[in-house]
A and B are shown apart, each in its own frame.
Chain A
């Protein structure tokens, strides 16, 4: 099963993710915590989905399972035709490496490691040669507008820039989906919109994006909203008129203490 991981175009009718009757039960001492109570949802290639919900609604658990960091208790999760629920730890690591790009709230960059090396990191765990690795990383950093800061360290970059390095890292292995977990949670409103602009641009280029957020402002940039409540999907609707981030930026006042060059 693992050998066709490299074929990113498998799966049927453009369906990227097929989830059926997914449940997740945690054991917290004697108590069983039902984080997910039977979720069924499909995500097509090229979608931009916002997953919303209050804390405790199960959206983080759902995200962890989507990201192959966790496995479901029951139900099936099929990612590009691969039944992820049946994979070993190592196979899951391979899926994370090849098919999934993570963007976190806290950026999660390696400190005292340059932007370039941070972006190169996923490629270290694959067979990529040193030369190709560097080329790919520089390309990814160019895409997020940081081509001129590849040798900067995270502590020399602003929050927005750090998040863009993280996005470049998530892009570098040409993943099937980018999973963004509250990517704007640590950013001011202008920078948040700028990050959303990057996501929209990537999505326009065909990359599937799943975004977890509790801010409805941010969710407005996505094309589809899935709302979680008490471990179930309460609403799943198409956002027919997503906001365009590049236009929103123009209306925002410039904050002078944040230097940005997006």
Chain B
């Protein structure tokens, strides 16, 4: 029997029981759609987490001064004044796993250039800040160590700030006033875009931390120290070295808690990635269960169909169908069921994912892999769950089959 004829007669057989075929397929449709949608959601989450990590720089550590503790009442992290410039410089000097450091200070305020003004945050950083953040200057240049030592009134503008303060002229070598202190613009940063929280990273002004501390914030200690490890693998070594060094420098007794906090981006990132991966696997496995149930539905219906059509099988055998012809016929029917269900499920899954992503504002990613996976899965299910009923049909004794009532 030619395969095309078999496929055609499979369609005919399935059309005879439209409702039943549809309900059987529904199991596969829901299963495949669920797998596609769940993978899309999981992979979307994975993608956005990876984006966040990439934006942060993975080998970066942040050292914050610890929370103040007065009579047992602890205030927020960073409220203590324990992190000094000397601490920062010692980290760079003593810790072998540390490559760059950038002491950090903050100030905010209105910035004026000519007749334009803009409200933004002023970050005091070290000269190696761009190395740590893997950022670069588009025009002009970054400030130098000399500028840091001299607390020079120089600054570098983020792209957003530059665009808002200087409409037609190049900002480089212009003077801006930050809280009435004049600063010379030495450079403009390249555009970095939004960070993971949706904040505009280009809405910033960078200036030597010494300058920010002395001229703007008047807060003597550092708000944070940004540290980069020599490599991704050395992150935990760097963290350990910094902890030991700071405990020693701050004369913390072994039974006392740290008066600083180190945040390890890579750890957070790895945890987040692992979490989303687990989420993806979890979602996909739950969805696969429904696919499995769909497969069992196919097997069930095929078994019913074989029993119902025993006489037909007998007739076919009596006029010359071989066992393998009968096997093929029923296997193809199961395959057609699962494939139609699979294709419909893929379409539904893709549509469903985009609905989810537009309603829940959750990024969904549909990869060729997940489509191939579910397509392959439905073929496998058709063959696996169709084989037993088909074999049962093929192994029937023609005489018994013909007599079957």
Contact = CB atoms under 8 A, between A and B. Distances in A.
B322 A94 contact: yes
B320 A104 contact: no
Nearest to B320: A97
B323 A64 contact: no
Interface stretch (A121-129, A141-149, A199-207, A235-243): A121-129
A169 B320 contact: no
A96 B323 CA distance: 13
Contacts of B315: 108-110, 121
Contacts of A104: 402
A108 B403 CA distance: 10
A33 interface: no
A102 interface: yes
Contacts of A124: 1-2, 5
B322 A93 contact: yes
A67 B317 CA distance: 11
Interface in B317-360: 317-325
B394 to A, nearest CB: 10
Interface string B1-21: 110010000001000100000
B191 interface: no
B contacts with A: majority SS: helix
A65 B69 CA distance: 100
Interface residues of B, number: 22
A67 B320 contact: no
Contacts of A126: 320
Contacts of A89: 322-323
Contacts of B1: 124-125
Nearest to A97: B320
Contact of B319 (A64, A70, A96, A112): A96
A125 B399 contact: no
B311 interface: yes
A122 B5 CA distance: 13
A121 B329 CA distance: 13
B319 A102 contact: yes
Contacts, number: 60
A90 interface: yes
A98 interface: yes
A70 B399 contact: yes
Contact of A125 (B312, B319, B398, B402): B319
A262 interface: no
Interface in B353-405: 398-399, 402
A90 B5 contact: no
Nearest to B314: A108
A68 to B, nearest CB: 9
Chain A CB within 10 A, most for which of B2, B12, B316, B398:
B398
A255 interface: no
A127 to B, nearest CB: 9
A132 interface: no
A120 B318 CA distance: 14
A193 B343 CA distance: 54
Interface in A65-94: 67, 69-70, 89-90, 93-94
Contacts of A173: 320
B255 to A, nearest CB: 85
B6 to A, nearest CB: 9
Contacts of A67: 318
B311 A122 contact: no
B399 A69 contact: yes
A104 B314 CA distance: 12
A125 B16 contact: no
Contact of A121 (B316, B322, B324): B316
Given A108-B311, A108-B315, A124-B5, A93 B320 contact: yes
Contacts of A125: 1, 316, 319-322, 325
Contacts of A122: 319-320
Contacts of A93: 317, 320-323, 325
Contacts of A109: 315
A242 B317 CA distance: 33
A90 B324 contact: yes
Contacts of A94: 320, 322
Given A112-B16, A124-B5, A96 B320 contact: yes
Contacts of B2: 124
A187 to B, nearest CB: 19
Chain A CB within 10 A, most for which of B2, B319, B324, B399:
B319
Contacts of A169: 319
A56 to B, nearest CB: 15
B369 to A, nearest CB: 40
19 contacts: A69-B398, A90-B322, A93-B320, A93-B321, A94-B322, A96-B319, A97-B321, A98-B320, A104-B402, A108-B311, A108-B314, A108-B402, A110-B315, A121-B315, A122-B319, A122-B320, A125-B319, A125-B325, A173-B320
Interface of A: 64, 67, 69-70, 89-90, 93-94, 96-98, 102, 104, 108-110, 112-113, 121-122, 124-126, 169, 173
Task: Identify the 8 closest CB pairs spanning chains A and B, nearest first.
Answer: A97-B320, A93-B322, A122-B319, A125-B320, A90-B322, A108-B315, A69-B398, A96-B320
